[in-house]
């Protein structure tokens, strides 16, 4: 297998997919949460049929499921699946993404124009190899970035490109033997709301792999335990001229609560296996306000301690603002997938072997977040995570190594062969 072949199978696909506006909406209850995800899903369904895959379905909740039949005589082998998600994060605009392909990166800083909108938010943005991990190693190679006015969407459209690229390769090379393979493209991974609608009864795979990692060689099989908390604040409205001693300002209550969250336990101040609190949105008025907080920790007990701390902060805020009320509603979103995956050692054994055969050095690291694999593992389908070449996800500084994206293709091709042995 020549990596140049896989570059041709993935590069232009990714650029095409990146142009779809698939930003998800955390506030929307429906799945999918945005109409743009349907556009990409429908495109993928037709593309897969165009490759010659006959068994392609698009579910009522925007899941694309395509099945590659096993090579002759291998239909009884363990069915496996490859998964990537359709949506992109709402933290940065994903509308009108214009990928910029740099074929032969010269290793110098890249000043981002900020696009036709320009604006102070984009002023001075640049991709500097002195600051961007992994960028210097791309000198002489191809990278893709944006003008800085949007994110790029490698999370996870690079994963989609890898999976579809692999499928085309297998279809063109029937001499590469494999068992039954499912290709699954899911909505609303970024909101954490897509998996409740996951068509589990329609999935035949006993093992799955997400293509939702980062740099070359990353292999992830443990993630955070995750909670989402909504804290509602109820104040007392009063004419401002007669407010003394009677008005309780819910906006100030929410602000006071947010300031109680430990600064050294935030995403920007932690790494590795350290957990955090992260306030995401604060809305409201004098009478009613709300604050959304994410809690993340690899240790479940530590996460539960943080949830209980939110209740303590709520009582402290009520003490500060007599007559006001603060109510915490915390729900678990997903669990650390390590325990479920570790119970099936062959899932990682074959994956590590596939990296080795493909000549990719393994970089094992924890996922400081979650993937569709987090939920799927809890549902009984062990699902570790594989790299796709992207960097700086959810950021205007997002960029993608074309060669690293392509290098993921031979890994999952070899993996498919190993499951057919």
- Strands (DSSP E) contained in 18-115 are 55-58, 64-68, 80-85, 100-102, 110-111
Contact (Cβ atoms closer than 8 angstroms) between residue 84 and residue 163: yes
The rounded distance, in Å, linking the Cα atoms of 406 and 57 is 26
Give the integer Cα–Cα distance in Å for 397 and 91.
13
Q: Where would I find the beta strands (DSSP E) of 246-374?
A: 276-284, 288-297, 325-334, 363-364
Residues comprising the chain, all counted: 421
Q: CA of 219: how far to CAs of 81, 98, 142, 208, in Å?
A: 16, 29, 23, 14
> 393 is written with which tokens?
């996800």
Q: Can you read off the two tokens belonging to residue 410?
A: 């031979």
The answer to whether residue 189 is catalytic is yes
CA angle, 379 as apex, 405 and 351 as ends, to 5°?
35
User: Could you count the other beta carbons within 10 Å of the beta carbon of residue 75?
Assistant: 11
Of 415, 414, 404, 417, the closest CA to residue 10 belongs to 404
For residues 404 and 216, the answer to whether their CB atoms sit within 8 Å is yes
- Region for 358 from its dihedrals, namely left if φ exceeds 0, alpha if ψ lies in -120 to 50, beta otherwise: alpha
46 is catalytic: no
In order of 404, 414, 420, the CA distances from 360 in angstroms are: 10, 12, 21
Please give the structure tokens belonging to residue 207.
């093992």
**Active-site choice (87, 155, 318, 372):** 87
CB of 405 within 8 A of CB of 10? yes
- Cβ atoms of residues 288 and 237 within 8 Å: no
Query: Quick one: residue 65, left, alpha or beta (phi over 0 = left, psi -120 to 50 = alpha)?
Result: beta
Q: What are phi and psi of 208, to 5 degrees?
A: -135, 165
The residue from 147, 156, 188, 189 that is catalytic is 189
Instruction: Report which of 66, 54, 71 is spatially closest to residue 179, judged by C-alpha positions.
Output: 71
- List the catalytic residues: 87, 189
């Amino acid at each position: 297998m020549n990596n140049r072949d896989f570059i041709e199978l993935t590069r232009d696909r990714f650029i095409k997919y990146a142009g779809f506006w698939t930003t998800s909406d955390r506030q929307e209850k429906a799945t999918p949460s945005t109409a743009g995800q349907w556009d990409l899903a429908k495109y993928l369904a037709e593309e897969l049929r165009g490759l010659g895959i006959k068994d392609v379905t698009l579910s009522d909740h925007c899941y694309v499921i395509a099945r590659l039949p096993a090579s002759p005589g291998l239909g009884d082998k363990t069915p496996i699946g490859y998964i990537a998600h359709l949506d992109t994060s709402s933290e940065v605009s994903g509308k009108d993404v214009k990928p910029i392909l740099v074929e032969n990166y010269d290793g110098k800083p890249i000043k981002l124009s900020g696009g036709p909108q320009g604006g102070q938010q984009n002023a001075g943005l640049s991709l500097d190899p002195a600051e961007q991990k992994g960028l210097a190693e791309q000198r002489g190679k191809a990278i893709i970035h944006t003008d800085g006015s949007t994110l790029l969407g490698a999370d996870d459209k690079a994963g989609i490109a890898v999976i579809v690229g692999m499928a085309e390769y297998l279809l063109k090379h029937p001499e590469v033997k494999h068992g039954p393979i499912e290709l699954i493209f899911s909505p609303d991974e970024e909101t954490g709301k897509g998996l409740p609608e996951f068509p589990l009864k329609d999935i035949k795979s006993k093992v799955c792999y997400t293509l939702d990692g980062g740099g070359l060689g990353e292999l992830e099989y443990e993630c955070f335990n995750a909670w989402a908390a909504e804290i509602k604040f109820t104040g007392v409205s009063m004419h401002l001229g007669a407010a003394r001693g009677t008005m309780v300002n819910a906006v100030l209550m929410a602000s006071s609560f947010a300031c109680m969250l430990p600064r050294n336990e935030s995403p920007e101040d932690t790494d590795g296996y350290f957990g955090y609190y992260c306030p995401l949105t604060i809305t409201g008025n004098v009478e009613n306000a709300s604050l959304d907080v994410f809690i993340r920790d690899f240790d479940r007990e530590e996460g539960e301690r943080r949830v209980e701390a939110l209740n303590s902060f709520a009582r402290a805020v009520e003490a500060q603002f007599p007559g006001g009320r603060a109510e915490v509603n915390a729900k678990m979103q997903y669990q650390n997938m390590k325990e479920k995956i570790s119970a099936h050692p062959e899932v990682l054994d074959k994956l590590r072997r596939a990296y080795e055969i493909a000549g990719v050095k393994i970089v094992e690291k924890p996922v400081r977040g979650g993937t569709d694999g987090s939920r799927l593992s809890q549902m009984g389908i062990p699902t570790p995570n594989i790299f796709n070449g992207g960097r700086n996800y959810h950021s205007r500084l997002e960029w993608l190594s074309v060669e690293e994206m392509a290098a993921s293709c031979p890994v999952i091709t070899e993996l498919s062969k190993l499951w057919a042995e």
